[in-house]
Amino acid sequence: MAQTQLLKGVLEGCVLAILARQESYGYELMQALHDYGFTSVVGGTLYPLLAKLEKQGDLVGRLIPSADGPARRYFHLTPQGQGTLREFEQQWAQLGSQVAAVLAPQEGQDDGAND
């Protein structure tokens, strides 16, 4: 399975988590995702997601003039977005423990290490 298929389900939560730490604009946010290892994330994925999260009320964007060129749209979490992030964190913790349990070698089973 390609990483991009798995990423679709968690990118929203990762974006919310980064924006919970500090306000950011699209390109800066994409660079942060790349720094975390999500190098397959491109603008064509990120910008529609930001628009969706803003439309849902999880983010608010505001234009701030930039000395380096055109104004940048900075995003920050709304109280609703903070709640959405908490829900994501809970669901991720539960899913992570379920997947870990499935992947863990079972007692009495050969884990393949001696093959």
**What are 1-44's pLDDT values in tens digits?**
456 666 777 999 999 999 999 999 999 999 999 999 999 899 99
Q: Say which DSSP state 112 is in.
A: S
**Which amino acid appears at position 34 of this protein?**
H
Domains and CATH numbers, the chain: 3-101 (1.10.10.10)
Computed on alpha carbons and rounded to an integer, the radius of gyration of the chain in Å comes to: 18
Rounded CA separation 43/80 (Å)? 24
Residue-wise pLDDT for 38-87, tens only, equals: 998 999 999 999 999 999 999 999 999 989 899 999 999 999 999 999 99
